[in-house]
Amino acid sequence: MMKLYSGDLSPYSARVRMQIYAKGLSEIAIERPAHFGTPKFRQDFPIGRIPVLDVDGDMMPESEVIAEYLEEIFPTPSMLGTIPRETAHIRTIARVGDIYILNNMFMLSAQSRAETRNQGIIDLLGGQVVRNIKALDRMIGRDGFACCGRLTMADCALVPALFMVENVLPATGLEDPIKKAGNVAAYWTAIQKTEHAARTLVELHRGLEERRELIRNGTFAKMMAKAAADMAEAEKD
């Protein structure tokens, strides 16, 4: 049986979960990994990040790689194009979601905790997010889907990325750029009402609420300090 190691608030994991839901792959179990964030996890998985797809003990990291693998193993229903040019366009939009928006948002997310803010980091990464939402505004479909008039891998990449922009960017002091990008805003309103995006967003919001509670009650800072100390100890020699 295949397993996806995942976490509610992990946007990269959410990308793969949304694809699994859309393809109806009930045979893939979705679990939170034991030891996540510990030296043991990094020992077992060199990149040390989720998602990881466990295929009978063969561990595969990286959301985009997993997404492409699942398309090859389970080709129907297809979330790629009907012709190569369509597939190339779907992958382009997915890369805008992953590389140009989500990677910057993910690096920026630690800046949402006011006491550790670094304005230079916010200006650099936040500036990239704003620029890339404007680029997306010129590329995105006008019919409620990222492209091709149906749910594709591009939507799976964009939904978690736009969730992060809407819910995390304002906490760094920057305005949500989706509001000023009419086509992205219309897409965002529409896609949230679709079944698989809605399910994925419930999980992301649940994860965000849990994280906010851990931050409020001081547990998150303690967890981060312990993880950093354990990691430094493990990497001593």
| Residue 172 within binding range of ligand GSH, rule CB under 6 A | no
Nearer Cβ to ligand GSH (99/190): 99
Question: Measured between alpha carbons, how far is 164 from 64 in angstroms, rounded to an integer?
Answer: 18
Cα R_g (the chain), whole angstroms? 18
Residue with tokens 């493990």: 234
Among 71, 99, 12, which residue's Cα sits nearest to residue 47? 12
Segment interacting with ligand GSH, rule: CB under 6 A, options 4-12, 17-25, 78-86, 148-156: 4-12
| Of residues 73 and 228, the one with the C-beta less far from ligand GSH | 228
196 contributes a contact to ligand GSH by CB under 6 A: no
Q: Which window, 8-16, 23-31, 149-157, 167-175, contacts ligand GSH (CB under 6 A)?
A: 8-16
Token pair for residue 25? 């792959």
Selection from 34, 56, 59, 55 nearest residue 46 by Cα: 59
Which residue number is nearest to ligand GSH in terms of Cβ? 49
- Determine, following the binding rule CB under 6 A, whether residue 50 of this chain makes contact with ligand GSH: yes
Among 39, 48, 144, 207, binds ligand GSH (CB under 6 A): 48
Q: Which is nearer to ligand GSH, 42 or 150 (CB)?
A: 42
Q: How close are the terminal C-alpha atoms of the chain, in Å?
A: 37
Residues in contact with 169: Cβ distance below 8 Å, sequence separation at least 6, in sequence order: 105, 108, 126, 129, 176, 177
CB nearer ligand GSH, residue 106 or residue 188? 106
Size of the site for ligand GSH (CB under 6 A): 11
* Interface residue with ligand GSH, options 11, 81, 97, 141 (CB under 6 A): 11
- Pair type for strands 52-55 and 2-5: antiparallel
54 lies in the site for ligand GSH, by CB under 6 A: no
Phi, psi at residue 75, to the nearest 5°?
-70, -15
C-alpha–C-alpha distance, residues 131 and 41, integer Å: 35
Q: Which is nearer to ligand GSH, 12 or 74 (CB)?
A: 12
Instruction: Name the minimum Å distance from CB 10 to ligand GSH.
Output: 3
39 sits near ligand GSH (criterion: CB under 6 A): no
d(CA 203, CA 215): 18
Please tell me the distance from the alpha carbon of residue 17 to that of residue 11, in angstroms, as a whole number: 10
Is 112 one of the binding residues for ligand GSH (CB under 6 A)? no
- Of 5, 21, 33, 63, the one binding ligand GSH (CB under 6 A) is 63
Task: Name the residues that contact ligand GSH, by CB under 6 A.
Answer: 10-12, 48-51, 62-64, 106
